[in-house]
A and B are shown apart, each in its own frame.
Chain A
Amino acid sequence: MDLVSHDMLNDNQAVLSYLELILAMPGLDKKAAEYAKKAISHVRSSTMHIENVKTIMTPRRATAAQPETTDLLASIKGASDELGRHFPNKKIKVNFPHQPGKALVAGGGLIKKLLETVMSSVVKLDLDAEVALNVSVSEEMSYGNRCWNVKIEDPNVKVPAVVTGADIDSVHTQDSSRVVKMSGLLFAKMAAEGLGGAFEVESDGGPDKGAVFVVRLRRAGNR
Chain B
Amino acid sequence: MTSVLIVDDEMFIVELYRDILQLRGYKVVGTAFDGEEALRKYTSTNDKPDVIIMDHRMPVMNGVQATKEIMKMNPSQKVIFVSADVLIEKEAREAGALEFLPKPFRMDDLIEKMRRISSH
Contact = CB atoms under 8 A, between A and B. Distances in A.
A13 B16 contact: yes
B104 A13 contact: yes
Contacts of B85: 6
B84 A6 contact: yes
B106 A20 contact: yes
A10 interface: yes
The prevalent SS among residues of A at the interface is helix
A156 interface: no
B107 A20 contact: yes
A21 B23 contact: yes
**Residue among A6, A13, A16 having the largest count of chain B Cβ atoms under 10 Å:** A13
Contacts of A24: 23, 107
Contacts, number: 43
Given A5-B84, A21-B19, A21-B23, A13 B106 contact: no
A203 interface: no
Nearest to B15: A14
Contacts of A10: 10, 12-13, 84, 103
Interface residues of A, number: 16
Interface string A2-34: 000110011011101110110010000000000
A85 interface: yes
Interface size class of B (residues with CB under 8 A): 10 to 19
Nearest to B13: A10
Contacts of A215: none
Interface string B84-108: 1100000000000000000111111
Contact of B13 (A14, A20, A43, A47): A14
Contacts of B20: 17, 21
Nearest to B84: A9
B57 A17 contact: no
B80 to A, nearest CB: 14
Nearest to B101: A13
Contacts of A5: 84
Given A5-B84, A6-B85, A85 B23 contact: no
Nearest to A58: B87
Nearest to B85: A6
B23 A9 contact: no
A16 B23 CA distance: 16
12 contacts: A9-B103, A9-B104, A10-B12, A13-B13, A16-B104, A17-B104, A17-B107, A21-B20, A21-B23, A24-B23, A24-B107, A43-B104
Interface of A: 5-6, 9-10, 12-14, 16-18, 20-21, 24, 43, 47, 85
Given A6-B85, A17-B104, A21-B20, 5 more contacts: A5-B84, A13-B105, A17-B19, A20-B106, A20-B107
Interface of B: 10, 12-13, 16, 19-20, 23, 57, 84-85, 103-108
3 pairs of A and B residues whose beta carbons are closest in the complex: A9-B84, A13-B104, A20-B107
